[in-house]
Amino acid sequence: MPQGLGGPSARHQRPAPLSADARYARQVVMPTIGEAGQALISDSRVVVIGLGGLGTPAATYLAGAGVGELRLVDYDTVSLSNLHRQFLYREDDVGQPKAEVAAERLRAYNPAIQVNTHTQRLSDALFATLLPDAQIVLDCTDNFPTRFAINAACARFGVPLVLGAGIGSTGQLGVFRHDRKDSGCYRCLFDESGEVAEACEDAGVFGPLVGMIGAWQAFESLRLLIGESPAHSSWLHFAPETRTIRHHQIPQDPACPCHV
Ligand SMILES: [Zn+2]
């Protein structure tokens, strides 16, 4: 008789109880997390800005890990060209607000957490609502002006920022310790008058590439929440085609306007 992956006894196993203990057991058993780390994760408020190719995996892993409150920010709607990489959405979601659809899926994925949505464009007023009591902001957007605005807001409110970027087949990951006075930031690294971002529409993007970077953003965010992240800011360049990772610390630029 053919056997499934679970073997002959799998069909007789009782389902696991729907308790938080069982849900988070595989991460709580890790010495770096434990019950204390899980409590930190469960008590946290995390802002995810952009629910596209980066925000989809990032928000999903954070929801799975039990982040107490996710604040999803996106004014965009689902389009057909999103679906090859944005796996929270289905074809019949096209035209619907991304934040609302993502929230519905994440609440079903983990009913124990709170998921709130914000479908307006970013503004100082919205930052003032979302950031003061947040532990982390994830920048999952795709353009330079928005990244500078988010970085400046995180500097203003002293909230750590985990930034992801992916285009073509290369990705970047920034962890900026705005919660520490001496740390460098995104504006220390890039001049606002400098580069023009390549758009996904023009350059294209591998779905799994933004999947990897978004998952990495969730990884770094969880490490920040449990106090396991380095105290300095860092920038990482990732080129999976050549198996290359470059990584360096970001010192604070005394001329950076974010630190006056
Ligand atoms: Zn700076």
Distance between CA atoms of residues 16 and 90, nearest Å: 29
Alpha-carbon torsion (40, 258, 124, 218), positive or negative: negative
Beta strands 161-167; 136-139: pairing state: parallel
Residue 3: what pLDDT?
46
How distant, in Å, are the alpha carbons of 28, 166, 170 from that of 203?
A: 41, 10, 11
Residues spanned by the domain of 163: 45-259
With CA atoms as reference, report the closest residue to 77 among 129, 119, 115, 130. 119
> Quick one: tokens of 52?
């596209």
Specify burial of residue 3 (Cβ count, 10 A radius: 0-12, 13-18, 19+). Answer: exposed
Q: What is the pLDDT of residues 224-246, one digit of tens each?
A: 999 999 999 999 999 999 999 99
For ligand 1, the distance from its centroid to the CA atom of residue 157, given in whole angstroms, is 14
Position 9 in a domain: no
In the predicted model, residues of the chain with pLDDT beneath 50 are 1-4, 6-11, 16-17
> What are 175's strand-pairing partners?
162, 234
For ligand 1, the distance from its centroid to the CA atom of residue 115, given in whole angstroms, is 31
- How many domains does the chain fold into? 1
Position 27 in a domain: no
Position 8 in a domain: no
For tokens 């019950």, what's the residue?
35
Position 131 in a domain: yes
> Quick one: tokens of 138?
């994830």
Residue 167: what pLDDT?
86
Position 201 in a domain: yes
Position 11 in a domain: no
Say which of 140, 185, 200, 258 is annotated catalytic.
Answer: 200
Predicted TM-score (pTM) of this structure = 0.91
Distance of CA 32 to the CA centre of its chain: 20
For ligand 1, the distance from its centroid to the CA atom of residue 97, given in whole angstroms, is 33
Position 218 in a domain: yes
Expressed in angstroms, the distance from the first to the final Cα of the chain is 72
Distance between CA atoms of residues 153 and 123, nearest Å: 10
Position 252 in a domain: yes
For ligand 1, the distance from its centroid to the CA atom of residue 152, given in whole angstroms, is 8
For ligand 1, the distance from its centroid to the CA atom of residue 252, given in whole angstroms, is 6
Phi/psi-derived region of residue 201, left when phi > 0, alpha when psi is between -120 and 50, beta in every other case: alpha
Residue 191: what pLDDT?
87
71 within 8 A of 47, measured Cβ to Cβ = yes
Rg (CA), the chain: 19
Beta strands 170-176; 114-118: pairing state: unpaired
Which letter does DSSP use for residue 81 in this model? G
200 belongs to the catalytic site: yes
CATH number assigned to the domain comprising residue 95: 3.40.50.720
For tokens 């679970």, what's the residue?
6
